[in-house]
Amino acid sequence: MKRLLMLCLLPGLVLLAGCESQQQQDSETENSIRPVKYTIVSEPTLLTQREFPGVLQAKDRVDLSFQVSGKLKKLPIKEGQIIQKDDLIGQLDQRDYQAKYDSAVADFENAQADYERAKKLIKKEFISQSDFDKLRAKKDMTDANVRLAKKALEDTVLKAPFSGTIAKQYVRNFTDIQAKEPIASLQNNDELEIVVSVPEYLMVMNDEDKRQGSFDLKAVFQNIPKETFDLKVNEFATEADSSTRTYKVTLGILDKKGYNLYPGMTANVYISGKAGKKVNLVPVNAVFADPDGKRASVVWKIDSDNRVHQHPVEIGQLKGDQIEILSGLETDDKIVTAGVHHLVENQPVKLLPASQTP
């Protein structure tokens, strides 16, 4: 009996011992002093020029599609082809739609004739008002059917809504096409624009700065490094991206300077002017993602008792082996710069010789 009792209690004793061992290990980790490299945050730097990656796109662009289904009979286009407004993009087999249209016209003509006879008969009271109303409703209904059949027939022909270039052809000729299925992508490469994502502080520029033209916008393409292109703001989003917390801004190119620029090309956009932003620069190894996922980026901040605490920061752009800190740090703050993934909250540390951030 005693032996059976011991066998029942044994798993619980092992589990309890494991929990005590884990708690002891966590306590030892928290209380163990770990030597760390650290840096002291210096005065923030005023940035008068910011650089953002951008992607070129056509101002006018559309995926062309038929509004009705059918089999392709004509597709006189190819990728890279320059076309003019109202040029033929494609045409479906029209036989079924033509037959439906002819039938709708015949029904309307019969209904129209019945209605015209009824107008004469109603005056002589040879038919009731109810029968007359039915004939008039039938005439109106068949008239609407004619318009629908005519539109469906016209929709079997797809034309270019503006002049441009066929950027992509999605289907081949003589294939069955569903309504609203993309046939080709049309782009107007004469007017190009660059899309960039910018941080919040650039979006809150006041009206006085706007009037005085505080920002100078220029673009440099990777394959044309010695040429700069002046830009203007075409439009901008007023709602931040949910993941990056940045705002989409669309910039127009004032002069292509004779270069062949195409959608999809990448560029560096430089925004400069007096409306600068003060940022702190810290080693990139000091910043890491929040393990709990509650905050985007954090650092280990060292308090006066040489204990570390996770502290949220807002990061900017990479500058070599350093990264911009837009908010979250103050001058003379001490932060850990190496081994950030081996520390725990409130752990005491031993400070190795400090380095001063520029």
pLDDT digits (tens, 9 = 90+) for 85-131: 999 999 999 999 999 999 999 999 999 999 999 998 988 888 999 99
Listed residues 217, 248, 275: the one ending a domain: 275
Asked whether residue 1 is assigned to any structural domain, the reply reads: no
Which residues, at least 6 apart from 238, have a Cβ–Cβ distance to it below 8 Å?
247
Within a 10 A sphere around the Cβ of 285, how many other Cβ atoms? 15
Determine the Cα–Cα distance for residues 355 and 353; give it in Å rounded to an integer: 7
- 332 within some domain: yes
Beta strands 38-40 and 334-336: pairing type?
A: antiparallel
Q: What mean pLDDT do residues 215-227 have?
A: 89
Residues recorded for the chain: 358
What pLDDT score does 134 carry? 93
Q: How many domains does the chain have?
A: 3
Task: Please tell me the distance from the alpha carbon of residue 192 to that of residue 259, in angstroms, as a whole number.
Answer: 12
Residues 287 and 352 in one domain: yes
Domain of residue 141 covers 94-155
Residues 40 and 53 both lie in one domain? no
Q: Which of 23-27, 75-79, 187-191, 338-342 has the highest mean pLDDT?
A: 75-79
* 8 within some domain: no
pLDDT of 75 over the 90 cut = yes
Q: Which residues of 221-246 are buried (b: 16+ CB within 10 A; e: fewer)?
A: beeeeeeebebeeeeeeeeeeeeeeb
* Residue 66 belongs to a domain: no
pLDDT at residue 172, as a whole number: 95
Picking from 101-115, 142-156, 333-347, which range would have the lowest pLDDT averaged per residue? 333-347
pLDDT tens-digit profile of 49-74?
Answer: 788 999 999 989 999 999 999 999 99
In a domain, 89, yes or no: no
- How many angstroms separate the Cα of 90 from the Cα of each of 84, 127, 151, 160? 14, 51, 16, 10
Residues 346 and 199 reside in one and the same domain: no
Q: Are residues 54 and 195 in the same domain?
A: yes
| Mean pLDDT over each residue of the chain, to the nearest integer | 85
Residues 6 or more apart whose CB falls under 8 angstroms from that of 291 comprise: none
Is position 5 within any domain?
Answer: no
Residues 267 and 304 in one domain: no
Q: Are 196 and 249 in contact (CB under 8 A)?
A: yes
For residue 348, give the DSSP letter: B
